[in-house]
């Protein structure tokens, strides 16, 4: 075999592997899309449904549609959900955006303190945060429930079954982001802030006017990551939110999966829907996710 054909073989093998790999990744995704457009609430067996139906999408979006209830007589009934699933979608977006914004605010300021300030027990606190973060949120579920119940006695709008209450709990997931942002801050030379200080900036001004704009990439990453995690968070939301009108997407989607009947079609439509805001967010944040934002400021 000469070297030319050897290279060709290698290329073909590499491409075959890549195509196989892409198929492995794409199949579940396409299955879900196919399922959302299929007739009937079954787990789909084909990537391209034999009969395209928009019923699941109509159900999810709250558009009334006719469903055949008796195949022999052809009897139909008009169907519309009591709580329109699109509402869960808006709930999710609202909670995720507010919680992620809050996370940015908290973790950004905390990280600044950890990266730049001197105070007692700094290292112990940092390690403590990291260790606490290792326990999944679910473990404290019962505590969250009690706490929110307690808060609810005084401020009903922040108690159980409220979005404010859930957001409050979500803000507790801040420590991993503190670590991320702190790591980024530490790559920025302190002399830039010292320079700002000499120029007459207060520590707060140096933070807002100098450090924050330079840190846009890490803030974009943190926002995206926390947004995604809150869009898909189930255990805590399922316990805190009790009535259908308050549910988030994950809780609502799960409600389609009864023990007796799993409504895969509706579930899939909802799943596809949940992907949209994440995609949009990515497109918006992409322009912040550029490297070289801190380039040129200092020479290492």
For the CB of residue 212, give the shortest distance to other proteins in the complex, in Å.
9
Residue with tokens 């007459």: 200
Nearer to other proteins, 109 or 294 (CB): 294
3-class DSSP assignment, residue 135: coil
Nearer to other proteins, 195 or 229 (CB): 195
**Residues 167-206 vs other proteins: string with x where CB under 8 A?**
----------------------x-xx-xxxxxxxx---x-
Nearer to other proteins, 147 or 293 (CB): 293
Q: Which residues, 6 or more positions from 68, have their beta carbon under 8 angstroms from its beta carbon?
A: 74, 75, 76
Torsional sign, CA 45, 51, 57, 60 = negative
3-class DSSP assignment, residue 155: coil
3-class DSSP assignment, residue 38: strand
**Residues 33-52 vs other proteins: string with x where CB under 8 A?**
--------------------
- According to DSSP, residue 52 is labeled B
For the CB of residue 126, give the shortest distance to other proteins in the complex, in Å.
15
Please give the backbone phi and psi of residue 82, each rounded to the nearest 5 degrees, phi first. -65, -55
**Stretch near other proteins under the rule CB under 8 A, chosen from 23-31, 141-149, 242-250, 286-294:** 286-294
For the CB of residue 223, give the shortest distance to other proteins in the complex, in Å.
18
**Stretch near other proteins under the rule CB under 8 A, chosen from 14-22, 60-68, 165-173, 292-300:** 292-300
Nearer to other proteins, 65 or 288 (CB): 288
Nearer to other proteins, 62 or 213 (CB): 213
For the CB of residue 128, give the shortest distance to other proteins in the complex, in Å.
18
Distance, CA of 219 to CA of 19 (rounded, Å): 34
Number of residues forming the site for other proteins (CB under 8 A): 24
Q: Is residue 276 exposed (0-12), middle (13-18) or buried (19+ Cβ within 10 Å)?
A: exposed
For the CB of residue 112, give the shortest distance to other proteins in the complex, in Å.
17
Name the CA dihedral angle for 92, 94, 96, 100, rounded to a multiple of 10 degrees.
180
Nearer to other proteins, 64 or 297 (CB): 297
- C-beta neighbour count of 168 within 10 angstroms: 19
Residue with tokens 């404010």: 164
Nearer to other proteins, 279 or 291 (CB): 291
Q: Is residue 37 exposed (0-12), middle (13-18) or buried (19+ Cβ within 10 Å)?
A: buried
Structure tokens, 3: 């070297």
Residue list 69-128, contact with other proteins (CB under 8 A) = none
**Residues 204-233 vs other proteins: string with x where CB under 8 A?**
-x----x--xx-------------------
Label residue 121 left, alpha or beta by phi (over 0 means left) and psi (-120 to 50 means alpha): left
Q: Which residues, 6 or more positions from 84, have their beta carbon under 8 angstroms from its beta carbon?
A: 60, 61, 62
For the CB of residue 102, give the shortest distance to other proteins in the complex, in Å.
25
- C-beta neighbour count of 231 within 10 angstroms: 22
For the CB of residue 287, give the shortest distance to other proteins in the complex, in Å.
14
Nearer to other proteins, 198 or 283 (CB): 198
For the CB of residue 208, give the shortest distance to other proteins in the complex, in Å.
12
Chain residues that interact with other proteins, rule: CB under 8 A: 189, 191-192, 194-201, 205, 210, 213-214, 292-300
């Amino acid at each position: 075999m000469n070297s030319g054909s050897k290279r060709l073989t290698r290329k073909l093998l590499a491409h075959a592997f890549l195509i196989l790999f892409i198929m492995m990744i794409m199949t579940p995704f396409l299955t879900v899309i196919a399922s959302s457009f299929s007739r009937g609430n079954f787990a789909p067996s084909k990537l391209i449904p034999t009969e395209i139906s928009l019923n699941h999408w109509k159900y999810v979006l709250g558009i009334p549609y006719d469903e055949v209830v008796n195949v022999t007589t052809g009897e139909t009934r008009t169907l519309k959900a009591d709580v329109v699933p699109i509402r869960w979608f808006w709930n999710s977006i609202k909670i995720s955006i507010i919680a992620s914004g809050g996370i940015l605010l908290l973790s950004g300021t905390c990280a600044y303190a950890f990266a730049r300030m001197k105070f007692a027990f700094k290292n112990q606190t940092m390690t403590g945060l990291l260790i606490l973060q290792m326990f999944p949120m679910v473990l404290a579920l019962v505590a969250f429930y009690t706490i929110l119940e307690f808060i609810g006695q005084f401020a009903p709008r922040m108690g159980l079954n409220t979005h404010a209450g859930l957001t409050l709990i979500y803000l507790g997931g801040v420590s991993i982001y503190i670590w991320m942002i702190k790591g980024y801050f530490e790559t920025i030379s302190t002399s830039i802030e010292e320079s700002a200080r000499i120029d007459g900036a207060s520590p707060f001004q140096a933070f807002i006017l100098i450090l924050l704009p330079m840190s846009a990439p890490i803030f974009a990453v943190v926002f995206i990551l926390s947004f995604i995690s809150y869009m898909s968070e189930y255990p805590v939301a399922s316990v805190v939110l009790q009535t259908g009108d308050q549910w988030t997407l994950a809780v609502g989607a799960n409600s389609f999966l009864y023990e007796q009947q799993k409504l895969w079609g509706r579930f899939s439509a909802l799943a596809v829907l949940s992907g949209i805001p994440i995609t949009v967010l990515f497109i918006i944040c992409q322009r912040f996710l550029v490297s070289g934002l801190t380039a040129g400021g200092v020479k290492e």
